[in-house]
Amino acid sequence: MCDEVAPSDDAADIYSYIEDHHPRWRDRKEEIKQESLGQTEDTENIIKKRVEKAIKTEQNHDDLLDSTITAFGPTSTIFDETGWKLLGTEPLYEIDPALRNSDAIVGHDDRDTIVTIECKSGLSSPRNALEQIRDAGDIILNHADHLENKTGVSFENVERVLCVPGQKAWRAIEAIEAEESEESPDEPIYLWKLNRFQDETLQLHQQFETRSESESVHESRLAEMLTGDGIRIADCPLLTPSFFPDSHPFTVMEHTFSEILWNRTGEDNGSIRNFTRAEIHNFINDQQNVPHYDTEVVADMLTEELLSKLLDFGLIEEDNPSEEGMGSSVELYGYDEDSVSGQSMDTILATLKEEYQSELIERKAEREAIKQTVEEFLDDQSSFDDY
């Protein structure tokens, strides 16, 4: 790059430098972006496909987790007969959302062991999944005092579980056997299968080439409940969470505003085009909607994140609370007239979802175009230096 060096390794900073010193690359960035959005001849909107796939993948994961935790609900067969119960989903999210956490933890008032559950609906990288499960279990143990304070259940040991759809079990089995053959881990990873072909059942897998059946079952009555035909999820009163703390932001937005708009329907419930911060917070701060042991803290975090994103996307704006007869301390918001149209629940929700996804696609296309432009620019400068 001659004798000049861009000010930072961050792609956005480097691009800003390129734009200031080499303006012709701005056109290249726009060209890349238009191609990725399918806006040029013989191209398709690959960014839209990626965003839609990411949302669908997260929703499939949430469905798997929902069915799995239902087996440990407060009126489930497992809880009634054994005392094993759901302690919460995505533990330690309240400490740090980026922390490598499990999808759920299951515990018992009279046992010193808890079960960490990691759900994988696709299992594209099974060996990586096993490493994540072991790391997450270690993190749970490192925060045992905190979790005891939050859940009321003390523990000293962890049994780690990988839960997959029944048709994906073979990939998990191969990965577990390979790990045990190559690394001889001290503790097993138990494998649960959610079978959905007929009756939805949760079942413990026992047949591995690298361990005996007795080494593949839990050291508790969970083994008795989950072996054989397993537990029929249909026999358990369903838990019906709206989402989980780490669900895709689109899912959080969709379910939250479905509820807010529904509650605002009717003459005495205020304008359907307005809502308050408290309405969002109250919906999330409910364990039936978000099954976490500290919903108030999670609600604080998700409410702030959701409002910040919608404001940044230009989909909502702050309103004067006096318009609805509220005090100045109330945070009142309304849908942006130019972006989110409509006067009915269905229309507002549909346009909100459409515009939210469009903004996601636009921003992802911009980020990827900047990244590719930076890479091409650096390659070009490197070739020039070599010459």
For 218-239, the pLDDT digits (tens) are 999 999 999 999 999 988 877 8
Handedness of CA 233, 234, 237, 239 (dihedral sign): positive
Contacts of 47 (CB under 8 A, 6+ apart): 36, 37, 361, 364, 365, 368
More confident residue, 269 or 93: 93
The tokens describing 383, both together, are: 């070739």
CA atoms of 336 and 273, how far apart (whole Å): 9
Confidence category of residue 26, pLDDT binned at 50, 70, 90: very high
Identity (one letter) of the amino acid at 174? E
The number of CA neighbours under 13 Å toward the Cβ of 227 is 15
Handedness of CA 284, 288, 290, 292 (dihedral sign): positive
CA atoms of 30 and 369, how far apart (whole Å): 7
Lowest-confidence pick of 197-201, 213-217, 292-296: 197-201
Contacts of 128 (CB under 8 A, 6+ apart): none
Backbone angles phi, psi at 159, to 5 degrees: -110, 120
Q: Structural domain boundaries of the chain?
A: 60-235, 249-340
Confidence category of residue 386, pLDDT binned at 50, 70, 90: low
CA atoms of 304 and 281, how far apart (whole Å): 9
Q: According to the CATH classification, is domain 249-340 in 1.10.3860?
A: no
Would you say the pTM of this structure is higher than 0.85?
yes
Q: What is the pLDDT of residues 111-169, one digit of tens each?
A: 999 999 999 998 888 999 999 999 999 999 999 999 999 999 999 999 999 999 999 99
Decide if pLDDT at 34 tops 50. yes
The tokens describing 78, both together, are: 């497992």
Cα–Cα separations (whole angstroms), residue 287 to 63, 74, 101, 295: 17, 12, 19, 6
CA atoms of 323 and 42, how far apart (whole Å): 51
Decide if pLDDT at 216 tops 80. yes
